[in-house]
Structure 1
Amino acid sequence: MKLSNSLSGTIRTFAYFMSSGSHYMLKGINYLELYGTDPSAIEQVYAIFINVLEVDNEGTVLNAHYAQRRATDYLKAYCDPNFKVQPAYEDWEVELYGPPPLKDLI
């Protein structure tokens, strides 16, 4: 099974705005430097985004805005200690799953 167009487009769009420094939920936050100096912060943002995304039976993304909000709030709190994420993250939202195998399964 391949990713749906909806899911692929949602992930691609989030990646573009994150890597270009132009994500509208992060105005005023200088986060681009983290890509070179603290990649684990960026890794956590993507993990939260992917963990929070929900799709229906056809693969249509149901909560792209909410997933982006949860992910970008992590970065806001990371860059600004006065910013508090509400509600606090649940363990499943911030879980970092293992990497893929070194060889493809197919």
Structure 2
Amino acid sequence: MAHLSTDVRAALRLFAFYLGNGTLDVEPLEGIDYRTHLLESGSDLEMVFAVFANVLQVDDSCRTTNDSDAQYRAAQWIRRSCAPSYTVDPPFEAWETELHGPLSDAARSTKGGWLWTTRLRRRGTRARPPI
């Protein structure tokens, strides 16, 4: 089974670190303490990661090519969530805010996820499988 590249894992880890630490250093968030707001609803935090992951691009070598763009678009989503009067420019396109669900059991078994899901079920864990 393939894993995410080191570059993608690093981009996700650093984004999560900066987000959780309150130091996501992009212009739309200056002066806003967004952490409390994001923790009030799991769906807000879910959408922040969806926007980041949807915008993040990789090259043929699986190296990220636009970490800062992905962080900026996620920050714009956070800002609009905290301050509905904020105008996102350019407006979000549908693909940027699309939520991707878990794979079906059939698709999961062909992608190597079936074993992962089976192990979790045996342990009684209800976590979502990796996508």
TM-score with structure 1 setting the length: 0.89
Q: Letter of the aligned partner of 2:90 in structure 1?
A: P
Aligned partners of 2:57, 2:3: CA distance in 1, in Å?
16
Q: Higher relative contact order by CA 8 Å / sep ≥ 6: 1 or 2?
A: 1
- Maintained 8 Å contact 2:56/2:70: yes
Kept after mapping to 1: 8 A contact 2:5/2:63: yes
**Contact 2:22–2:34 (CA under 8 A) maintained in structure 1:** yes
Distance apart, 1:2 and its partner CA: 1.5
Any unmatched runs of 5+ in structure 1? none
8 Å contact kept, 2:20–2:35: yes
* Offset at residue 24 of structure 1 (A): 1.1
1:21 alignment counterpart = 22
Deviation for aligned residue 1:65: 0.6
Question: In the alignment, does 2:6 pair up with 1:5?
Answer: yes
Work out whether residues 37 and 82 of structure 2, in 8 Å CA contact, stay in contact via their aligned partners in 1: no
1:89 CA drift (Å): 0.7
Identical positions, percent: 34
Letter in 2 for 1:4: S
**2: distance between equivalents of 1:88 and 1:69?**
13
**Structure 2 length as normaliser, TM-score?**
0.73
Q: Distance in 2 between matches of 1:45 and 1:39?
A: 10
SS for the counterpart of 1:76 is: helix
Q: 1:19 to 1:101 in 2, by over 3 A?
A: farther
* The structure with more helix, counted as a fraction of residues: 2
Q: 2:96 matched to 1:85? A: no
Q: Which amino acid aligns with 2:56?
A: L
- C-alpha contact (below 8 Å) 1:52/1:93 kept by paired residues: yes
Q: How many pairs were matched up?
A: 106
Residue 57 of structure 1 aligns with which residue?
Answer: 60
RMSD of aligned Cα (Å)? 1.8
Query: Cα offset for 1:41?
Result: 1.1
**Partners of 2:31 and 2:102 in 1: CA distance:** 32
Give 4+ residue runs of structure 1 displaced > 4 Å after superposition.
100-103
